[in-house]
Amino acid sequence: MSSSVPAVPASGARLPVGSASAVRVPHQLTGASWSGVGKQLKTLLSNSPVLTAGLLLVGAAGVALAYTVSQADRRRRVGRRRILRLVKSGFQQYRLDILKYVSEQPWNHFEVGQLKQILDAFTALLEDPRRGVIPISALTQIIRKSGVADEHVAHACAKFFDVDGNYQVDFVELVERLNLLVHGSKHRKLSALFSVYDLDHSGRISRDELEQVLRALGHRDREQTHEAAMALFKALDENKDGQLSKEEFLSLAEGVHAFSMNRPYHSVATHFGLLLK
């Protein structure tokens, strides 16, 4: 039994309509291949010493920049670890060293006189002068004395200062957060404040959470608080899912809504002799 091999159409001949045959086009005819581009680039570089030198300089500059940044990060980490050791084991003895370290940080915008005032007030809160940390409970009580009756909300406000999450606040953390509250942009303040309103740490703010925080921060009755919460949700809840994402919450920064970002922290700022804007 012989099998017939289909004839290849002559040049210019048409294939029958519906034919399953396909004409294979050589790869090199579809366009320049990557190997061809590489060869052209190699030729260009070999014929242009100036271009080659320029590329080498750019590459060297990139490596040098990456090294400089990594070294700067390493120095910052080493400096932070050193200061934390002083904070935890010899705060009273090395207060001036710690003060100098904070005053030189790029995020600090307080004058030395203000830092000294904050340091004195901070030291007065210490249970053990040798250890420069205050428990979250101490800051919680300061906030509660300002009129935030809800323990849960006051605790959430105090946790704002606990940058590393160890339920203690050292002097560096305190000044860093106070800088944000006093000198930070509206967007940065709201980003940090989101965790205060997100009481269950779910990554979203529910109406109940918003009402609870607003009531604790000064609204007089439940009906007024409910109306304020509903108004905020109507303005911010774009997808109407009954919760505020962080992106929706941050839209307050571009809005004109009556919303006090620093209200929970006025008592803390007053205690440390600062004026919140």
CATH number of the domain bearing residue 211? 1.10.238.10
pLDDT of residue 191: 86
Give the total number of structural domains in the chain: 2
Pairwise CA distance, residues 257 & 89, whole Å? 46
195 plus 263 within the same structural domain: yes
Alpha helices in the chain (DSSP H): 34-47, 49-89, 95-103, 112-124, 136-145, 151-159, 171-183, 186-197, 207-216, 222-236, 246-250, 266-271
107 plus 241 within the same structural domain: yes
78 plus 117 within the same structural domain: no
CA distances to 24, 39, 154, 185 from 173, in Å: 69, 56, 18, 18
- Among 89, 104, 124, the domain-final residue is 89
* Average pLDDT value over all residues in the chain: 77
In a domain, 9, yes or no: no
Nearest to 199 by CA among 210, 189, 186: 210
- Among 89, 112, 144, the domain-final residue is 89
Pairwise CA distance, residues 125 & 174, whole Å? 12
In a domain, 18, yes or no: no
254 plus 207 within the same structural domain: yes
Give the domain range for residue 202.
93-271
In a domain, 276, yes or no: no
182 plus 152 within the same structural domain: yes
Q: Is the pLDDT of residue 28 over 70?
A: no
Q: What is the mean pLDDT of residues 63-85?
A: 65
In a domain, 31, yes or no: no
Greater model confidence, 24 or 60: 60
List the single range of 80-89, 134-143, 168-177 with lowest mean pLDDT.
Answer: 80-89
Q: What is the mean pLDDT of residues 93-102?
A: 88
Q: Is the pLDDT of residue 149 over 60?
A: yes
pLDDT of residue 125: 87
Output the pTM of the full model.
0.66
Tokens (6 digits) for 193: 């404040």
128, 198 Cβ separation under 8 angstroms? no
What 3-state DSSP class applies to 59?
helix
In a domain, 15, yes or no: no
What is the secondary structure of 150-177 as a DSSP string? -HHHHHHHHHTT-TTSSSEEEHHHHHHH
65 plus 189 within the same structural domain: no
pLDDT of residue 150: 86
pLDDT of residue 19: 46
Pairwise CA distance, residues 276 & 261, whole Å? 10
CA torsion, ordered 167, 171, 176, 179, to nearest 10 deg: 120
pLDDT of residue 68: 62
274, 114 Cβ separation under 8 angstroms? yes
pLDDT of residue 15: 47
225 plus 207 within the same structural domain: yes
166 plus 257 within the same structural domain: yes
List the single range of 35-39, 131-135, 234-238 with lowest mean pLDDT.
Answer: 35-39
In a domain, 144, yes or no: yes
What 3-state DSSP class applies to 258?
coil
170 plus 229 within the same structural domain: yes
